[in-house]
Amino acid sequence: MQKVASKRWKLAEKIPAEVEQALSYYPPFFRQVLYNRGIKNTDQAMAFLNPGENFYDPMLLLNMDGVVERLSYAIDRKEAIAVYGDYDVDGVSATALLVEIIQLLGGNVTAYIPNRFDEGYGLNIEALNYLREQGTQLVLTVDCGIRSLDEAEHARQIGLDLIISDHHHPLEQIPAAQFVICPKQKGDLYPEKNLAGVGVAYKIAQALVQRCLKELPYEGFGLDLVALGTVADVVPLTGENRMLVRAGLKELRRGWRAGLRSLAQAARLTPSTLSTADIGFGLAPRLNAAGRLESALASYQLLLERDVQQIGLLVQRLDDQNRERQKITAEMQQRAEELIQQEEFEEILFAFDTSFNPGVVGLVAGKLTESYYRPAVVGTINGEYVRASCRSIPAFHVTQALDACADLMVHHGGHALAAGFTIHRDHLPELKLRLAKIAADQLGDLDLRPVLRADVELPLGELHPEFLKYLHLLEPTGMDNPEVYFVSRNVRTLNPRAIGADGKHLKFLVTDGWITYDAVAFRQGHWMESGLPKEVDILYRFELNTYNGRENLQLNVVDIKPAGSD
């Protein structure tokens, strides 16, 4: 019987005296925050807090010179080019970006985004045949293709030139495409290995512009799409990724891309103040909904559409699909919870069902991993084949685990924490046994409880509104550059009440007797049933909440424990 994992709190190591002295320009709490991020002097602090836009030279990517040469040739001679993308936000953003730049350069280009349900992820032979029949001469992939060995060989056999650009982990063998761009491939010396698919696409766009235009049509061209796809794909927001997203957020806030501006308004977001959280929880789910339920083409069209009436129709469609996606996710989550309780494995979760929507299995796997802090594999059984998504924890590299079972699968791929695969139904029992053995070997001796890391512990009375201006300097925050978390102990709770659909969330006040703050705890409405203690320890983010044009200071409480229990 699987049980929801309780959370462990881990407070950051106290800043050494010599580092505190070196960072004395900043207030005490912020010195600790900077130290927690590996910053030990003011020079490092200035570089981190003001990263600028000194992006790396795209020509440092292996094979970029050949890619630029081939694309320039195709553009000049009006060859039919197809940008072949993926159906998630990263892939759709990358597709839109390269179509936009190739059109700007005068190229003859179309987009091809496979249908999740009919074609599945990545390159497929039927699509390549279709493109060849339509007269396509050059296919440029984005966010896919790095493991498409058979498909690349087929493209060669039918006389279709193929350039692969991807950011996923390659196999030992690289596809026999005309050129392959991937910062993770052997021999590539590009400094930023964690670019998203749209980040790699932007590098191609940069290189093309340097060759054909010398400079971008305007400063910031395409960076709004880079920010969108990079944040949505949950890659590390450090190094060049952080610079790209920081610059891209500026473009998003200018609101010149009408489709995204309208989508933000539909999500009740203010376009001029969009943040990484707004992308992750507001824009990305709506853009992803199209590809999860039908076709991602609606999302792609919205990114490039300029007609106001058409934009309105597309936004309404995406908003409706997102609501339907939420309903389907809740139903599948309930069924998956039942299925994992029937399994005998301790270190990994499995849930397979004929009723599961293949576009939503990744979301359900993510929710299982979040709740139980174990790798989760959720799949759709459809005839002879099973298509599944995996989500994992830092201690278990799920793609490497799948690599060890590659002989059983039709195809697979992904990252350390997220992956997908297709397998013949007859091989599923053996796959489960093998993955369970790998998980038991790697995780069996570990404390499988999620760790919540806090930057600073301080009494509630020492929390000041001026902290917010320093917290703002850390943006954009995300994976590997998290928001700041505080711990305050022995605070009193007042006026708790359940809010949201089905009372899933908790709203209350916290006070030390002198100062009082509003507090919200998402997905913690269960405290209303068990009884919220009068005195608690809380782990939280400090933020300025904006709703319906009104602003107020708020504690976004991530976890609550009875006072003194930890």
If phi > 0 it is left, if psi is from -120 to 50 it is alpha, else beta; for residue 54 that is beta
Q: What are phi and psi of 69, to 5 degrees?
A: -60, -45
Q: Given this model, what pLDDT does residue 344 score?
A: 86
The span from the CA of 324 to the CA of 357, in Å, is 12
Q: Given this model, what pLDDT does residue 2 score?
A: 62
Q: Given this model, what pLDDT does residue 4 score?
A: 65
Q: DSSP of 392-454, one letter per residue?
A: --TT--HHHHHHTTGGGEEEEEE-SSEEEEEEEGGGHHHHHHHHHHHHHHHHTTS--SPEEEE
The span from the CA of 526 to the CA of 506, in Å, is 8
Distance, CA of 435 to chain centre: 24
- CATH assignment, 58-254: 3.90.1640.30
Characterize the bridge pairing of strands 80-84 and 108-112: parallel
The span from the CA of 190 to the CA of 323, in Å, is 41
Handedness of CA 275, 277, 278, 279 (dihedral sign): positive
What tokens appear for 550 in the block?
Answer: 């009104």
The span from the CA of 74 to the CA of 68, in Å, is 10
The span from the CA of 478 to the CA of 32, in Å, is 19
Q: What is the dihedral of CA 539, 541, 544, 550, to 10 degrees?
A: -50
Pair 368, 390: CB distance under 8 Å:
no
Q: DSSP of 92-125, one letter per residue?
A: HHHHHHHHHHHHHTT-EEEEE---TTTT-SS--H
Task: Please name the residue that has the structure tokens 């490039």.
Answer: 304
- CATH assignment, 8-50+451-562: 2.40.50.460
Other beta carbons within 10 angstroms of residue 281's beta carbon come to 12
Three-class SS state of 379:
strand
Residue-range domain boundaries for the chain: 8-50+451-562, 58-254, 343-443
Other beta carbons within 10 angstroms of residue 86's beta carbon come to 28
Q: DSSP of 222-276, one letter per residue?
A: THHHHHHHHHHTT---SHHHHHHHHHHHHHHHHT-SHHHHHHHHHTT--GGG--H
Kindly give the parts of the chain with pLDDT less than 50: none
Q: What are phi and psi of 410, to 5 degrees?
A: -75, -50
Task: Please name the residue that has the structure tokens 């002879």.
Answer: 384
Three-class SS state of 88:
coil
Pair 149, 176: CB distance under 8 Å:
yes
Task: Please name the residue that has the structure tokens 């319906």.
Answer: 548
Pair 545, 509: CB distance under 8 Å:
no
DSSP H/E element including 198: helix 197-212
Contacts of 97 (CB under 8 A, 6+ apart): 198, 201, 202, 205, 222, 225, 226
Packing angle, helices 89-104 and 223-232, rounded to 10: 160
Q: Given this model, what pLDDT does residue 117 score?
A: 79
Q: What are phi and psi of 408, to 5 degrees?
A: -90, -20
The span from the CA of 36 to the CA of 475, in Å, is 15
Pair 526, 505: CB distance under 8 Å:
no
The span from the CA of 61 to the CA of 165, in Å, is 11
Q: State the fold for domain 343-443.
A: Diaminopimelate Epimerase; Chain A, domain 1 (3.10.310)
Other beta carbons within 10 angstroms of residue 371's beta carbon come to 19
